[in-house]
Amino acid sequence: MRNRKLGFDYSSDHFEGCPVETTLDVIGGKWKGVLLYHLIDGKKRFNEFRRLYPKITQRMLTLQLRELERDGVIHREVYKQVPPKVEYSLTEFGKTLEPIILHMKEWGEKYKDRMVNIETTLKAED
Amino acid sequence: MRNRKLGFDYSSDHFEGCPVETTLDVIGGKWKGVLLYHLIDGKKRFNEFRRLYPKITQRMLTLQLRELERDGVIHREVYKQVPPKVEYSLTEFGKTLEPIILHMKEWGEKYKDRMVNIETTLKAED
DNA sequence: CGGAATCCATGACGATACTG
DNA sequence: CAGTATCGTCATGGATTCCG
């Protein structure tokens, strides 16, 4: 994912494999799923993401947004003004991912508690 | 998401965020999506995976399978015999992920070519 | 405000060798 | 067959500082 490179390691034979890999290369980045999820209900500015997800550093936010942009999944709109303003939004292509993201969200909601319990148990073993 | 870490970084506040993260923690590992995908059509033995996916090293295969097992997504059946035989299969819990995996597979099939083209273009810029 | 640049620590991952 | 152990490398990602 983890795991998982930051992204974009499409070495030639990387794609021999199953298509699941293609999809995970796009949405599997450490924060990409989350970013895409928040874009489903509309544009977001850089610092909006930081407020929504304080854990992600400025650097990683930039890197992950850039990769999503390169993959054509999101659009970056820069307003020429002072202070600067940048808005991120899903492209039409990016919107094809919405069903998957929402599906992952539902699964996460259902089984979040279970996963937390597993983690708690494992920590107790230390 | 590694990438992504190898997985399993359920630090306490990791779960504050959106449920999409929970799901990606389970299936987002570098090879997890692929392994789960191949388990959908039945049990697989250790060396079967290696044949299906020569790129993955023995070490990584072991690690990723162990994590999936710990997450309760797959079951590891050891047959006490010589030579040893181990079969991996989806648990009932793991099967709840099938729709998502299949959905990711469909998306990957549709847009694989597009993603490869992006990569090709980027390499040409070097 | 929305970054870019630099430095640095850790951990992901591969290669290789060995084993019950 | 199905792993484990050890080692080395390099990418991942955090912290900090600076900038238009």
A56 alpha-carbon distance from chain centroid: 11
H/E run at residue B63: helix B58-70
3-state DSSP call for residue B120?
A: helix
Phi, psi for A83 (deg, rounded to 5): -70, 155
Return d(Cα A4, Cα A102) in angstroms, integer: 21
> Does the structure show a pLDDT above 70 at B7?
no
**Contacts with B15 (C-beta within 8 Å, 6 or more apart), sequence order:** A112, A115, A116, B21, B22
pLDDT at A118: 84
Condensed to tens digits (0 to 9), the pLDDT of residues A57-115 reads 999 999 999 999 999 999 999 999 999 999 999 999 999 999 999 999 999 999 999 99
pLDDT at A11: 39
Q: What is the mean pLDDT of the segment spanning B4-20? A: 52
The one-character DSSP state at A42 is: S
Q: Would the Cβ of A35 be found within 7 angstroms of any atom in strand C? A: no
- Cβ-Cβ contacts under 8 Å, B96 against chain A: 107, 110-111
3-state DSSP call for residue B48?
A: helix
Flag whether residue A117 sits within 8 Å of chain B, measured between CB atoms: no
Phi, psi for A31 (deg, rounded to 5): -120, 0
Is the CB of residue A104 less than 8 Å from the CB of residue A28?
no
> Residue A30 corresponds to which amino acid?
K
Q: Which nucleotide is nearest to A83 (CA to C1')?
A: C1
> Does the structure show a pLDDT above 70 at A2?
no
The two three-digit tokens of residue A95, written as one number: 């919107």
**Best interface-test mutation with B: which of A24, A97, A109, A114 has the largest number of B CBs within 10 A?**
A24
Q: Which nucleotide is nearest to B1 (CA to C1')?
A: D12
CATH topology of domain A19-125: Arc Repressor Mutant, subunit A (1.10.10)
pLDDT at A1: 39
Nearest CB among A22, A33, A70 relative to B24 is that of A33
> Residue A107 corresponds to which amino acid?
W
> Does the structure show a pLDDT above 90 at A4?
no
Q: What is the domain partition of chain B in residue ranges? A: 19-125
User: Chain B 34-53, CB below 8 Å of chain A: which residues?
Assistant: 34, 36-38, 53
Condensed to tens digits (0 to 9), the pLDDT of residues A44-73 reads 999 999 999 898 999 999 999 999 999 999
Omega before A84 within 30 of 0, i.e. cis: no
Q: Of A20, A35, A13, A50, nearest to A88 (Cα)?
A: A35
Residues facing residue A17 across a β-bridge: none
Interface size A-B, in CB pairs within 8 Å, comes to 202
> Residue B47 corresponds to which amino acid?
N
Condensed to tens digits (0 to 9), the pLDDT of residues B26-70 reads 999 889 999 999 999 999 999 999 999 999 999 999 999 999 999
Condensed to tens digits (0 to 9), the pLDDT of residues B105-122 reads 999 999 999 998 887 777
Condensed to tens digits (0 to 9), the pLDDT of residues B54-64 reads 999 999 999 99
Return d(Cα A46, Cα A88) in angstroms, integer: 8
Flag whether residue A66 sits within 8 Å of chain B, measured between CB atoms: no
pLDDT at B122: 73
Flag whether residue B80 sits within 8 Å of chain A, measured between CB atoms: no
